A and B are shown apart, each in its own frame.
Chain A
């Protein structure tokens, strides 16, 4: 099976270890993985801000880059959601690309959803010693219907004690440009999220979206709390020796 990894801008810019972890997990599960060089941004910031023209341009570009693979895997619920659910709408009026958008959409998956539902992975064999809690990022939960799958894989980590996060379904306040357009409201939301994380007594929090994780880690860091923040791919690939998100090296 030949798959392409769409790393996403945040992974590309902020945290390559997530990309390498994702590749490792996919290869371990038997995939041939390619990471096309010409990938940039899926256009979500444009689409969510009503800029249809730029959203269309970026969508067309992405389709050009990612066609020709069996599947396109994305270590992000929101970017996967953009490709899978929104591209057909973004390009609905485009006679050349609308069908290609539908085709691509059908082959796009969030990473953990793909590992469990398509590849049938039940355990990645990695070790994680400690108490972990899981934040369901909104697009992962609602657009990609991914919530059972990451939990399954995390629970299979040796030594991992997975604690359910109260109000796990409540938005962390990232929302892409929302967090900088409405900073006070976003701060309230992320603060509430961090408060509930603290109540679990977990030493580590994980999610499938780097945007959420940066938001949560940024607040944890400002509040000087000793909670580590990792992307699910890193945990599943056993790559927790690197500093956590926002952690000092």
Chain B
């Protein structure tokens, strides 16, 4: 998927003025935040689970090579195949190749963020395959030809009316209720349309929330059941998963599962938590004849060895998005690529390059709420600062901003000059503001005064004033 992250500032502005989007975001935010809180109030063991989850991830990443090989071995023992893809192009090539080998025409898909990351749908369609997203949110945005705006609820930005319009434009047939008004009507219609697709697909492609090394299983968490229908009905099941998804055992997976649904939707568990291990057994009724796992690297093996390693702990729950005031103000599309919000601001520059993605790391007040709610305790603000440090080294900061900060630092390094300037400037602004107590227009401060008054300084440096009153016993320098 092409990245438009550089235009975040402009997209953000458009998003702030989009009333439909703002209404949808407000609704979603309240729901996610409150439901998560309610779920955690019912789970006194939450903090212990967080600690345990972090330990599992650290242990696994420390032995990632061995666990991936164990996973591969177990998949093969159960009759499946594992493929390794270093980058998006290779992953798509493998997936397309498997579909061609299976003489496939129609492909159903469960929601997979890694699939978006590698541009899978475009590659499949370019190979003349018909691709049908089956997660309702993904289906909606597929019809709208838009990227997802949230990693858990891809169509969170769409109102009921917009969805109804899309369905009315794309679904034709007497069996459909018209006009489409209620939520049940919309969901029922999606059910009818997608049911046929499920039954007719040659290949089903899903993601995986986790890969279990011990058993060679892939775990998939859904509420709709679309993942299971995608995985179970077609002749071929392909799982696209990134390498950091592996965990050692089912017990380890269980720790993460306890955190995942609660952090994402406030459920203790989703309607369907499924584990797929290999193709159908010879005596099974139904099930895919082929089971493939495409392991995708795309920069993760490198992250494992650098300052961003902890980003590999992410279980894609979306809690950081839901609690981020920036995401909450502008929604997911402003981020311009696959992953939005705090986790997206860390990941995107790592995957599309810092020169394209650095503005995302900038667009944060570093409030830290993301880290506070992250079930895996990922230090997101620290990782954002890392991007900023690298951006500075790479000279990516706007020249004016860079020189102003440099100027500020130069003054701050000269205490006498600093103090003198503070004395002078604060008194000047105080005089200009007069009795009003604030300034409406200040040169070079348009970004502040466009929407805020600037409170007037009281006049004079505090430190100088204190020194005048009590000075003489100062022993600094």
Contacts and interface: CB of A to CB of B under 8 A. Distances in A.
Contacts, number: 233
A215 B367 CA distance: 15
A37 interface: yes
Interface string B423-445: 00110000000011110000001
Interface string A217-249: 111011000000000000000000011011111
Interface string A146-164: 0000000000000000000
A75 B64 CA distance: 46
Main secondary structure of the interface of A (DSSP, over half): helix
Contact of A222 (B330, B415, B418, B452): B452
B458 A16 contact: yes
A186 B13 CA distance: 11
A100 interface: no
B463 A49 contact: no
A18 B462 CA distance: 9
Interface stretch (B81-89, B150-158, B200-208, B383-391): B383-391
Contact of A48 (B325, B388, B418): B388
A48 B458 CA distance: 27
Interface residues of A, number: 77
Contact of B437 (A46, A52, A178, A247): A247
Contacts of B422: 9, 12-13
B474 A14 contact: no
B12 interface: yes
Interface residues of B, number: 72
Given A13-B457, A57-B413, A215 B452 contact: yes
B450 A185 contact: no
B357 to A, nearest CB: 14
Interface of A: 7, 9, 11-20, 23, 34-41, 43, 45-52, 54, 57-58, 61, 64-65, 138-139, 142-143, 169-171, 173-192, 214-215, 217-219, 221-222, 242-243, 245-249
A37 B413 contact: no
The 3 closest A-B pairs by CB, nearest first: A175-B365, A218-B452, A50-B392
A49 B448 contact: no
Given A243-B437, A249-B435, 15 more contacts: A14-B455, A37-B463, A40-B415, A48-B388, A49-B392, A51-B392, A54-B406, A138-B366, A180-B445, A187-B451, A188-B16, A214-B454, A218-B448, A218-B453, A218-B454
A246 B371 CA distance: 33
Contact of B458 (A9, A17, A23, A189): A17
Contacts of A249: 435, 437
Contacts of B392: 49-52
Contacts of B435: 248-249
B462 A245 contact: no
10 contacts: A15-B462, A35-B466, A35-B467, A41-B418, A51-B405, A57-B409, A185-B329, A215-B452, A248-B435, A248-B436
A40 B418 contact: yes
A86 B366 CA distance: 13
B309 interface: no
B461 A142 contact: no
A1 B413 CA distance: 29
Which residue among A61, A174, A181, A185 has the maximum number of chain B CB atoms within 10 Å of its CB?
A185
Contacts of A178: 363-366
Given A20-B466, A185-B363, A246-B456, A54 B409 contact: yes
A181 B451 CA distance: 14
A130 B134 CA distance: 57
B452 A58 contact: no
Contacts of A50: 385, 387-393, 397
B457 A182 contact: no
B365 A173 contact: yes
A37 B325 contact: no
Given A23-B466, A183-B447, A169 B369 contact: yes
